[in-house]
Amino acid sequence: MDECVRLEDVGKQFDGQWVFRHVSLTLPQRQTTAIVGESGCGKTTLLQLINGVVSVDEGVLSVLNAPIPETGLPAFRRKIGYAVQGAGLFPHMTVQQNVDLMARLEGWPESKIRNRVRRLFELMGLDSALGTRYPYQLSGGQQQRVGLCRAMMLEPPLLLLDEPFSAIDPITREEIYGHFEVLQQQESVSALLVTHDLREAVRLAQFLVFMGSGQILQHGETATVIESPASESIRRLIETQL
Amino acid sequence: MDECVRLEDVGKQFDGQWVFRHVSLTLPQRQTTAIVGESGCGKTTLLQLINGVVSVDEGVLSVLNAPIPETGLPAFRRKIGYAVQGAGLFPHMTVQQNVDLMARLEGWPESKIRNRVRRLFELMGLDSALGTRYPYQLSGGQQQRVGLCRAMMLEPPLLLLDEPFSAIDPITREEIYGHFEVLQQQESVSALLVTHDLREAVRLAQFLVFMGSGQILQHGETATVIESPASESIRRLIETQL
Amino acid sequence: MKRLVVTLALFGWLPLNAGEPIVVASKNFTESYLLGEIIAQRLEQAGMEVDRRFGLGGTLICFEALLAGEIDVYVEYSGTLERTILKLGQRTSILELNERLLSRGLSLLSPLGFNNTYAIAVRKEVAEEFSLERISQLTDYRDLRVVVSHEFLEREDGWPGMRRVYGFDWIPEGIEHGLAYQAMADGSIDITDAYSTDGELQRYDLTVLADDKAFFPTYLAMPLIRDDLSPRAQAAIEDLAGTLDDSSMASLNASVVFEGADFASAATNHLRSIGFDVADGRSNTFDDLIRNTQRHLWLTAIALLTATVVGIVLALAVFQVTWISNAVLYVAGLLQTIPSIALLALMIPIFGIGMLPAVVALFLYSLLPIVRNSVTALVTVDPVLRRVGKAMGLTRYDELRYVYVPLAMPAILAGVRTAAVISIGTATLAAFIGAGGLGDPIVTGLALNDTSLILQGAIPAAVLAIATELMFEGIERVLVPRHLKVLEQPR
Amino acid sequence: MKRLVVTLALFGWLPLNAGEPIVVASKNFTESYLLGEIIAQRLEQAGMEVDRRFGLGGTLICFEALLAGEIDVYVEYSGTLERTILKLGQRTSILELNERLLSRGLSLLSPLGFNNTYAIAVRKEVAEEFSLERISQLTDYRDLRVVVSHEFLEREDGWPGMRRVYGFDWIPEGIEHGLAYQAMADGSIDITDAYSTDGELQRYDLTVLADDKAFFPTYLAMPLIRDDLSPRAQAAIEDLAGTLDDSSMASLNASVVFEGADFASAATNHLRSIGFDVADGRSNTFDDLIRNTQRHLWLTAIALLTATVVGIVLALAVFQVTWISNAVLYVAGLLQTIPSIALLALMIPIFGIGMLPAVVALFLYSLLPIVRNSVTALVTVDPVLRRVGKAMGLTRYDELRYVYVPLAMPAILAGVRTAAVISIGTATLAAFIGAGGLGDPIVTGLALNDTSLILQGAIPAAVLAIATELMFEGIERVLVPRHLKVLEQPR
Ligand SMILES: Nc1ncnc2c1ncn2[C@@H]1O[C@H](COP(=O)(O)OP(=O)(O)OP(=O)(O)O)[C@@H](O)[C@H]1O
Ligand SMILES: Nc1ncnc2c1ncn2[C@@H]1O[C@H](COP(=O)(O)OP(=O)(O)OP(=O)(O)O)[C@@H](O)[C@H]1O
Ligand SMILES: [Mg+2]
Ligand SMILES: [Mg+2]
């Protein structure tokens, strides 16, 4: 199986304190890997490393079969759709502008942009009338879904999703799950999904990573992990949450 | 049973469009009421109405046994702890300053402030070393918990919690649930909890509100609602989520 | 930039060729003002538009301004051209002067008629009594009381030379020039030296003796023009050739100095007397006002536009490296501490006079507020959004364009607005270096203590400031993202 | 504010009582400069510190400045006090003058000796030939050629009065005053009027006749002081009483006007000649520099502090109502469009001369950048955070203090920094209204075309600008919230 992201012995510190060290992890291509873990254990940091927004302090990192390039980072990043935690929409752009900015910069024809935006809005259950609003005029869940649209706009081969459904109600979320699965097959994307919802992880991901503070506790195919948890605490978590 | 918040036929519009109309609702004192509903149906708006940050366009609203005062809004609001969706921490203040600002303005003695902050940090599973950091140096879940601490700092009789646990991992969340229940008994607060997690709602709330777009679908004691859902969609929701 | 120039020209702000007014200048003494005004009125009567730039500070400033194309015509004297400007030997023919000027793109028109040189003046009674008409006759009348100015007594082109040429063997006493006329008037002196167009010759009724041995150098007054001046304008000025002899120039001077006539009406009277049907007076205050305001607007607009572009680009280039942006701010600050008059004075050796140095000075003054506000605003853009921009794959340029600049826009515009208002204020000082604008009436008014003149500058400047504010409000409405304009007032 | 004043005083910026220098002023003509310099050097020799404020623009400016406590002493003439200042009848006694001055907190010291009034001057040979000593003798020598200035011929305290008092029955011819001396020199005139301390009396060796019928009003020169001047200083000045008679004053004037001596060394020579052992020359350039810089700093610091406080408070008061904040910005902009010289001139009738009007003008100029930046920054504070502040229960005041101001701080400081640098530049113009500072050497240097003098002002001003920038960087380090200083550079 092809690999999409590989970390070998990676470490990252802030202000001299290690967030994690010796993290080794391989994400398979065209599969979704879910990361579940304690708040503050470094999940967001991990996504930022893969995207190249923060740099690795230790170890080797390869993304899309190459180390993170020294030059041409913008082009590299456009192949990675990143839905940031908490939406992170540009307040000075309308919803439409937030979503289609990158496509315009890529020079997509107008019709292609329109179709893609319409499609994404439908998938996310967003009213197309929201397109002309500014982010501050949206509810939290609407903002989060706009952020998702923005991440997926360029049809990137790799998606980094940081708690992307946390502010969305269960019914809408269920719909999006369905669309997401279809999308994954059609567009054959690889995805890395950070979530606190174990049911969501099991539902969407073929692979599952349990992260503890500063290290990886367990990593494997979802079914395997669920059946044989590596530790008591993981077992308890699986029992209470599923 | 005393009532804590009462809405009669309340309506609110943005730019001429009604978010909801004819909403009538009574929240009992010293109980937790959970609101569950579609993203964008107006939950956050409802909390803001109760807090007086946005004004009612229609109907009658009474909070803590009085209409929202014309003058003295600050004093009124200090009796309401509001954990805003997405934390909303002040970026220019440290975590400590964010949490204890209101207590200082209220003139609390230093020792009382210190004790309260320490207690809240413990309840929320936050490392006390985080106190000197700025919000941008925290993970999403940490920020959310700091926002909760800030809301609860003044021991307000009424808590408005807007998806307060959405970015927190299940284990930490479970701990906080426990503390929350104890707290509610000890400090006898009333709480209004917006959540997308039905299990959370059932776990914490004595009363349950289902909100649809523009109206209230069902409202009652949690057990009653779970047992006899008012509509097919609520029934399905309960079935899939619990 | 080309498009900008054309646009501005359409609004009449830029002196492009089409319909461009003819710039008539003068030096800062009475005769020169009068000659300038006569030419200006003649051109206007011939249907052309004129821009008056009178009172420039001296021969060299006029000449340089003409070379630089800042002005189109002023009246110069042949002797001054010969000695002071072209530094040639004496008695250079006008043809030769013209040749040398032609090679520099200038051209002399025909002399106006009079020759403003030294002259020997005799009390009228005395001249009549002895039928004195020519200087050479003086040898026969030794007992006339000749008293000349100290300067004349000593200059080689004064008494010493004259004595040799005319063969006088006595040395007269010296006197203060200003006093000589009065001494002539009260009869204590019979003969003295004078300038041939002095108004005093008329006032004290003196007779000027002919320089029959052609000793005195000639200072013929001639319009000096740029040779790209339109043939129509040249012809109109040429019509004035020979219309002003020494005595009519002297009486024109006298009418201003002794009778308190203003330049404009004196010039009008003269032109009518020689058959040009010019309109009444001049003093179309409203036209002045419009022209000054346009010039002012143009000065500040150019300076501000350049400063805005340079300032923002500079800020974008340096804001990410603290020490470089500090260095830029220090330099901009140092420029700001140079007092405006000193800065304008410093500009002259580098940029000459006129609009260019004024625009440069205004540009330098405008930089600081723009650069500082831009740097501050760019540096304080929310770090979260900066990171999001990077993460999305924006290039360096696109980050600036789509994230930094729009988010910093309100503060950048605030800097530009401050700079605009400061420029409008400082531009009034540009009048000192002949750049015109609303400073013209203010400076003249301050000198003459003429409040209405001061207000002619001050009120339009104030109106301009307000208009600028309104314009920027419009710009802000377009450029500032809507979410920043939500000043909703939650209770 | 009290604490601030004390702090500044500790740094020697504020002229508080202790160790405060004595401010010696002069009017703007030679004799007054000399007298000011003599008093200044006498005080310095007596061990006191002196601040020279020479060349103030006229009698009223000096007198008002003294009343206002801006200066401590200058030399005034009894006749001027009587007529121009106090507007009393003629021949008021010095005692009476002093009484009236005392009630206004001023006091006259004893006359320096000379009487600068009209005088009748005779050519020395003539005086000797006829033993002329007193004016009354003139009746006996009618054939002497008396020619007086036109002004003297017509003034009531000139010839007409003198004629009545002395009984002269003839009317002399009139002459230009400047010419009279030369006419005397070449012997064409024997007698004319003069001022009794004119340097020309020495230069042309003229004898002054005694006014033996005491016709001419007295213009005795007397140090005019504030009566709170320290007894020690008063005593030191009083030592100069009677040490300068008409002829020594005249020769002092002559040494400056005709021999090119500078005021300082002329004063030194005089003081030595009357037995005061003063140090050599004056011209401690370094002290000057320090004093000018201190003064400059003080001017800008006061203006800037006030403008900062007023500007920010104003911005906080108005920013939430768009039309009011626009109106405030318009007014501030209009103030900015008034050219600095005109603004300073406008200040004089309102605030007199000295530091106050300068500070007011600088204050007005500083307002715009501060108010505009503050308003812009306050208006653009993130609406989400504003709402959170409300929701938490912050009062209006606490919202401003804990949310708006800290978030707007970088832009507010940028405005203050721009204002600071503009102030440092504009303050050089304050020299025009006697406020001192680094403009003093610049203005004098520009007038005298003395580059080293200009640099004595320009370089410290530049250093001041840099120092200010550095200081503000320190302030920013403290006041700007840390999260805004994260300029991390993600790749
Ligand atoms: N300032 C505004 N202008 C216009 N529409 C607004 C504004 N604020 C909110 N809305 C709209 O009002 C509706 C209710 O918003 P609200 O934030 O209350 O939803 P919510 O129930 O909290 O949703 P979520 O679960 O996604 O947070 C949404 O459809 C939203 O788009
Ligand atoms: N700029 C920073 N400076 C210092 N510490 C930081 C910084 N950013 C993050 N951290 C710390 O690094 C750790 C990992 O943060 P990260 O955001 O990756 O957590 P996370 O796993 O995404 O948590 P959550 O589930 O709460 O979002 C946290 O403990 C956080 O406090
Ligand atoms: Mg995270
Ligand atoms: Mg919400």
Q: What pLDDT, in 10s, does the model give residues C240-294?
A: 998 998 888 988 888 877 776 777 888 998 999 888 888 765 555 677 778 778 8
**Phi, psi (rounded to 5 degrees) for A24:** -125, 135
Answer whether residue A179 is part of any domain.
Answer: no
**Whole-number Cα distances in Å, C99 to C67, C87, C96, C103:** 15, 14, 5, 7
- Output the CATH code of domain C2-115+219-273: 3.40.190.10
How far is D362 from D482, CA to CA, in rounded Å?
A: 32
Contact A75 C393 (CB under 8 A): yes
Q: What pLDDT, in 10s, does the model give residues D331-359?
A: 888 887 776 666 766 666 677 666 788 88
Closest-CA residue, ligand 1 atom 14, reads B42
Is the CB of residue B2 below 6 angstroms from any atom belonging to ligand 1?
A: no
Contact C184, C204 (CB under 8 A): yes
Is pLDDT above 50 for D12? no
Contact B225, B218 (CB under 8 A): yes
Please count the other Cβ atoms lying within 10 Å of the Cβ belonging to residue D277: 7
Percent of chain B predicted with pLDDT > 70: 100
pLDDT at A9: 87
Per-residue pLDDT band for C6 (boundaries 50, 70, 90) equals very low
Q: Where are the domains of chain D?
A: 2-115+219-273, 118-209, 285-488
Q: What pLDDT, in 10s, does the model give residues C229-239?
A: 999 999 999 99
pLDDT at B99: 92
Closest-CA residue, ligand 2 atom 3, reads B137
Per-residue pLDDT band for C304 (boundaries 50, 70, 90) equals very high
- CA R_g for chain A: 18
This model of the complex carries an ipTM of 0.74
pLDDT at D111: 92
Is the CB of residue B44 below 6 angstroms from any atom belonging to ligand 1?
A: yes
State in Å, rounded, how far the first CA of chain A is from the last one: 29
Same domain, residue pair A114 and A233: no
**Domain termination site, one of A128, A155, A182:** A155
Q: Do domains D2-115+219-273 and D118-209 have the same CATH topology?
A: yes
Mean pLDDT of C453-459: 78
Exposure b/e, D407-443, CB count within 10 A at least 16 = b: bbbbbbbbbbbbbbbbbbbbbbbbbbbbbbbbbbbbb
Contact B97, B130 (CB under 8 A): no
Atom of ligand 2 nearest to the CA of B144: 26
Of C179, C341, C410, the CB nearest to D176: C179
Q: Which of A18, A21, A41 to mutate to test the pocket of ligand 2 (most atoms within 8 A of CB)?
A: A41
Which of C385, C388, C392 should one mutate to test binding to chain A, selecting the residue with the greatest count of A CBs within 10 A?
A: C392
- What is the DSSP code string of B164-204? TTTTS-HHHHHHHHHHHHHHHHHH--EEEEE-S-HHHHHHH
pLDDT at C42: 92
Any CB–CB contact under 8 A between D406 and chain B? yes
Contact D380 C473 (CB under 8 A): no
Dihedral sign for Cα atoms in the order C269, C271, C276, C280: negative
**Centroid of ligand 2 to alpha carbon of B139 (angstroms):** 4
Answer whether residue A100 is part of any domain.
Answer: yes
Q: What pLDDT, in 10s, does the model give residues B48-82?
A: 889 888 888 888 888 888 888 888 888 888 888 89
Dihedral sign for Cα atoms in the order C314, C319, C324, C327: positive
Same domain, residue pair B46 and B164: yes
Per-residue pLDDT band for A178 (boundaries 50, 70, 90) equals confident
- Tell the CATH superfamily of the C118-209 domain: Osmoprotection protein (prox); domain 2 (3.40.190.120)
CA proximity to B77, closest of B64, B60, B94: B64
Q: Give the chain C residue nearest B51 (alpha carbons).
A: C491
* Chains with at least 3 CB pairs less than 8 angstroms from chain C: A, B, D
**Whole-number Cα distances in Å, C365 to C121, C333, C335, D421:** 55, 9, 7, 11
Same domain, residue pair B106 and B146: yes
Same domain, residue pair A163 and A241: yes
Q: What pLDDT, in 10s, does the model give residues C257-268?
A: 777 677 788 899
How far is D146 from D189, CA to CA, in rounded Å?
A: 6
Same domain, residue pair A113 and A233: no
Is the CB of residue B50 below 6 angstroms from any atom belonging to ligand 1?
A: no
Same domain, residue pair A65 and A91: no
Any CB–CB contact under 8 A between D391 and chain B? yes
Q: What pLDDT, in 10s, does the model give residues D353-409?
A: 667 888 888 898 888 899 989 988 888 888 888 888 888 888 889 989 998 998 888
**Centroid of ligand 3 to alpha carbon of B10 (angstroms):** 37
How far is C61 from C274, CA to CA, in rounded Å?
A: 31
**Centroid of ligand 3 to alpha carbon of C447 (angstroms):** 72
Where in chain A does DSSP place strands (E)? 3-14, 17-28, 32-37, 58-63, 66-67, 80-83, 158-162, 190-194, 207-212, 215-221
> Facing residues of C147 across strands?
C173
Contact A233 B171 (CB under 8 A): yes
How far is C76 from C63, CA to CA, in rounded Å?
A: 9
Q: Which of B121, B133, B138 to mutate to test the pocket of ligand 2 (most atoms within 8 A of CB)?
A: B138
Closest-CA residue, ligand 2 atom 6, reads B137
Min CA distance, D320 vs chain B (Å)?
17
Is the CB of residue A137 below 6 angstroms from any atom belonging to ligand 1?
A: yes
| Contacts D382 to A, Cβ<8 Å | 91
Same domain, residue pair B73 and B98: no
Same domain, residue pair A2 and A59: yes
- Output the CATH code of domain D285-488: 1.10.3720.10
Any CB–CB contact under 8 A between D334 and chain C? yes
Mean pLDDT of A231-239: 84
Sort strands C118-123 and C106-108 into parallel, antiparallel or unpaired.
unpaired
Which carries the bigger pLDDT value, residue B190 or residue D443?
B190
Of A55, A91, A136, the CB nearest to D491: A55
Rounded to the nearest integer, the mean pLDDT of chain B is 87
Contact B136 C491 (CB under 8 A): no
Mean pLDDT of C480-486: 60
Residue with tokens 């208006």: D379
pLDDT at D446: 58
Atom of ligand 1 nearest to the CA of A136: 1
Of A39, A163, A172, the CB nearest to B142: A39
Element (H, E) at D346: helix D340-351
Domains contained in chain B, number: 2
**pTM of the full structure:** 0.70
Percent of chain D predicted with pLDDT > 90: 15
Is pLDDT above 50 for D485? yes
Is the CB of residue A134 below 6 angstroms from any atom belonging to ligand 1?
A: no
Measured at the alpha carbon of residue B19, what is the angle toward residues B223 and D321, in degrees to the nearest 5?
A: 130
Mean pLDDT of D211-235: 89
How far is C447 from D477, CA to CA, in rounded Å?
A: 48
Answer whether residue B183 is part of any domain.
Answer: no
Per-residue pLDDT band for D426 (boundaries 50, 70, 90) equals confident
CA proximity to B153, closest of B106, B206, B198, B185: B106
Closest-CA residue, ligand 2 atom 5, reads B137
- Which strands sit side by side in the sheet containing B3-14, from one edge to the other? B17-28, B3-14, B58-63, B66-67
pLDDT at A234: 84
CA proximity to C182, closest of D173, D182, D172: D173
| Contacts C178 to D, Cβ<8 Å | 176, 179
Neighbours of ion ligand 3 (CB under 5 A): A 44, 85; B 139-140
Contact D483 B134 (CB under 8 A): yes
Is pLDDT above 80 for D83? no
pLDDT at D490: 44
Any CB–CB contact under 8 A between A54 and chain D? yes
Per-residue pLDDT band for D308 (boundaries 50, 70, 90) equals very high
Per-residue pLDDT band for B133 (boundaries 50, 70, 90) equals confident
**A–B CB contacts, 8 A cutoff, strictly below:** 91
pLDDT at C445: 59
* Chains with at least 3 CB pairs less than 8 angstroms from chain B: A, C, D
pLDDT at C43: 93
How far is B240 from B227, CA to CA, in rounded Å?
A: 14
How far is B93 from D406, CA to CA, in rounded Å?
A: 9
Answer whether residue B202 is part of any domain.
Answer: yes
Q: What pLDDT, in 10s, does the model give residues C115-136?
A: 888 889 999 888 888 888 888 8
CA proximity to D180, closest of D163, D170, D194: D194
Which carries the bigger pLDDT value, residue C288 or residue C334?
C334
* Domain range enclosing B40: 1-79+159-170+190-242
How far is D92 from D78, CA to CA, in rounded Å?
A: 9
Q: Which residues' Cβ are closer than 6 Å to ligand 2?
A: A 14-15, 19, 39-45, 85; B 137-142, 167
Q: Give the chain D residue nearest A54 (alpha carbons).
A: D490
How far is C358 from C428, CA to CA, in rounded Å?
A: 10
Same domain, residue pair B166 and B61: yes
Same domain, residue pair B164 and B60: yes
Is pLDDT above 60 for C489? no
Is the CB of residue B81 below 6 angstroms from any atom belonging to ligand 1?
A: no
From the number of C-beta atoms within 10 Å of its C-beta (0-12, 13-18, 19+), residue B112 rates as exposed
